[in-house]
């Protein structure tokens, strides 16, 4: 985050403008400091270039020990003011989602470098632009928002495509990995640690608002989508990629019902339980679907999950393993019917530019804000 990005930031309590205090700058990049609201008494810390902007009533549920220690070392006790109770009904589910994904991304990101974003499979540019169905050149020179951005996959490809500024939101601590994986992150990224419904940004502030592979994991997804649209400028685009109900019978009728039992299992144990399932999927994808797609594609397209399995055949085994684990551990995992996605767009006055059943198992929506 640069100093001149601060004017776009807003208080998640009252919506007031924020100003920068006690900042440590490096070539105009804000390394640390405090963001103080000009309308109420809220103060938010900036830690290792990340603005931590949680509401009072959930602040201490999300702060990590290293964040709290940094705040206390700086003498910024006003950043720790909170209110007891009054949680939203969906708060605990959202906290469970955050904890589970922080565990998963911790396994993935600790061994990653920039080369992992240029290979094949889920992290590759071809996959990202297949999920987010806009021409990559359209983001060049533009301001883009990515919500629920994990450790930076989407932001990396947007910066590589020439985006001027990427507002990067993530609820979990994996957001700190992004600055290490994305070139020129301090100047290109504005790292915002908050939930996706209470984003610390001014309305109409971005040309593109993107939520890729994440809206289905937000308990109040309609509110999160409404926030994306509010932050999009007139003439800009709101873009999501979500799980589809269509063609996902294994997930909707087998895996999701079994989660009543699976979610009682320790995450480390569940990860290893995903291993034999991964082996079966790997063999099916590489040994059956991929050859069929190469030699008899017309026949293959008649089979269930063909497009999805062809996509998975591009994954190396470790990436497929974490993907299978992802499907098993998700505490909230909504599968959208086509009409639900259409309703999200129409209820928020978006003009649907594209609605595509990506890989036969996802809905990719591009909506234009009038």
- Residue 95 dihedral angles phi and psi, to the nearest 5°: -65, -40
Non-local CB neighbours of 332 within 8 Å, separated by 6+ positions? 93, 94, 96, 97, 216, 217, 218, 219
SS3 content of the chain, % helix, strand, coil (to 5): 45, 20, 30
- Taking only the tens of pLDDT, the chain with its 370 residues reads 999 999 999 999 999 999 999 999 999 999 999 999 999 999 999 999 999 999 999 999 999 999 999 999 999 999 998 887 677 888 999 999 999 999 998 888 777 778 888 877 788 999 999 999 999 999 999 999 999 999 899 999 999 999 999 999 999 999 998 888 888 889 999 999 999 999 999 999 999 999 999 999 999 999 999 999 999 999 999 999 999 999 999 899 999 999 989 999 999 999 999 999 999 999 999 999 999 999 999 999 889 889 989 999 988 898 899 999 999 999 999 999 999 999 999 999 999 999 999 999 999 999 999 9
Whether this prediction's pTM lies above 0.75 is answered by yes
Cα(9)–Cα(7) distance, integer angstroms: 6
How do residues 250-263 score in pLDDT, each as one tens digit?
A: 899 999 999 989 99
Strands 43-47 and 50-52: antiparallel
How do residues 185-222 score in pLDDT, each as one tens digit?
A: 899 999 999 999 999 999 999 999 999 999 999 999 99
In this structure, whether the domain defined by 92-245+333-368 belongs to CATH 3.40.50.150 is answered with yes
Cβ–Cβ under 8 Å, residues 18 and 200? yes
The domain segmentation of the chain, as residue ranges, is 3-87, 92-245+333-368, 264-329
């Amino acid at each position: 985050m640069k100093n001149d990005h601060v004017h776009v930031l807003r208080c998640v309590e009252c919506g007031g403008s924020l100003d920068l205090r006690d900042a440590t700058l490096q070539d105009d990049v804000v390394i640390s400091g405090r963001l103080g609201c000009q309308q109420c008494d809220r103060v938010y810390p900036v830690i290792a270039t990340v603005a931590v902007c949680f509401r009072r009533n959930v602040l201490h549920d999300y702060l990590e020990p290293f964040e709290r220690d940094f705040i206390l070392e700086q003498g910024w006790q006003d950043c720790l003011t909170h209110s007891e109770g009054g949680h939203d009904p969906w708060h605990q589910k959202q906290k469970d989602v955050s904890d589970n994904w922080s565990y998963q991304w911790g396994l993935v990101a600790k061994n990653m470098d920039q080369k992992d974003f240029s290979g094949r499979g889920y992290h590759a540019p071809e996959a990202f632009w297949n999920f987010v169905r806009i021409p990559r050149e359209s983001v060049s020179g533009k301001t883009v928002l990515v919500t629920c951005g994990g450790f930076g996959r989407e932001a990396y490809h947007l910066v590589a495509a020439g985006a001027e500024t990427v507002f990067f939101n993530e609820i979990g601590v994996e957001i700190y990995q992004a600055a290490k994986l994305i070139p020129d992150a301090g100047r290109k990224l504005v790292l915002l640690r908050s939930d996706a419904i209470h984003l610390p940004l001014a309305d109409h502030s971005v040309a593109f608002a993107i939520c890729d592979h994440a809206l289905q994991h937000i308990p109040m997804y309609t509110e999160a989508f409404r926030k994306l649209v509010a932050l999009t400028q007139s003439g800009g685009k709101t873009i999501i990629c979500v799980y589809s109900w269509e063609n996902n019978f294994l997930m909707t009728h087998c895996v999701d019902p079994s989660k009543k039992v699976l979610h009682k299992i320790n995450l480390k144990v569940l990860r290893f339980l995903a291993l034999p399932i991964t082996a079966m999927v790997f063999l099916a994808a590489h040994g059956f679907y991929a050859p069929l797609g190469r030699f008899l594609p017309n026949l293959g397209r008649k089979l269930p999950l063909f497009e999805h399995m062809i996509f998975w055949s591009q994954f190396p085994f470790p990436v497929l393993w974490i993907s299978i684990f992802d499907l098993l551990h998700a505490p909230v995992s909504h599968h959208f019917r086509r009409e639900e996605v259409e309703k999200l767009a129409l209820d928020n006055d978006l003009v649907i530019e594209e609605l595509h059943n990506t890989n036969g198992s996802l809905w990719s929506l591009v909506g234009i804000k009038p």
